[in-house]
Amino acid sequence: MPRKTSQHPTAASGDDRRPPSRRREIVFLVVFLVLLGVSFTAISFQPVNDHVVEPFTAGIARVSGVTLNLLGQGITMRGTIIENHRFAVNIRNGCNGVETMLIFISAVLAFPAPWPARAIGLVLGVLAIQVINLVRVVALFLTGAYFPKLFDASHTVVWQTAVILFGVLLWIFWASRFAAPRRAEPA
């Protein structure tokens, strides 16, 4: 009688059919969520808001006001309020790019990449997010001044989505281009 052979290869045969380990992905997700939770909790504390977030937001408002003046808008500033004879807007939390920066920073720090790549990603990513946020504030002001009926939809739907999506896409770009380990070229 012929001997039955196993239909399942063994590890000794070199054909291991176990599903690939998702340990790296799980560690990334857990670390990302912890960093995100810690950072969003930190900015919710009044002293952090008063001494870090509000001064940062005032800086965003000043840079936006200067940019709008360069565009000939005749801006005056009162704290975080940017105004001219047509329109006024108050730059508040949520309009400063901080949430998008925290999402990006948490993702970069959680990603298994060399520290030099993380450092470059953090610096360039935060700068890029603030540039897109500056474009957002300037565009929203101009929308409010010249197309006031479009301001609310532009503010809550278009630009909030665009800035967060930009941060996520920026992280994907960084992770795929700069953080992923390079594979050795075949000889």
Which structural domain, as residue segments, surrounds residue 168?
Answer: 23-179
Q: Render pLDDT for 122-174 as a digit per residue (tens, 0 to 9).
A: 999 999 999 999 999 999 999 999 999 999 999 999 999 999 999 999 999 99
Q: What is the number of alpha carbons within 13 Å of residue 21 lying toward its C-beta?
A: 3
Within a domain: 28: yes
Q: Render pLDDT for 110-133 as a digit per residue (tens, 0 to 9).
A: 999 999 999 999 999 999 999 999
User: To the nearest whole percent, how much of the chain has pLDDT over 70?
Assistant: 85
Confidence of residue 67 (pLDDT cuts 50, 70, 90): very high
pLDDT value for 24: 86
Q: Render pLDDT for 86-102 as a digit per residue (tens, 0 to 9).
A: 999 999 988 899 999 99
Specify which residues 76 forms β-bridges with.
83
Residue 63, pLDDT > 80, answer yes
Within a domain: 95: yes
Within a domain: 4: no
Within a domain: 48: yes
pLDDT value for 5: 53
* pTM, rounded to two decimals: 0.82
CB 56 within 8 A of CB 122: no
The total number of structural domains in the chain stands at 1
Within a domain: 72: yes
Within a domain: 116: yes
Residue 14, pLDDT > 70, answer no
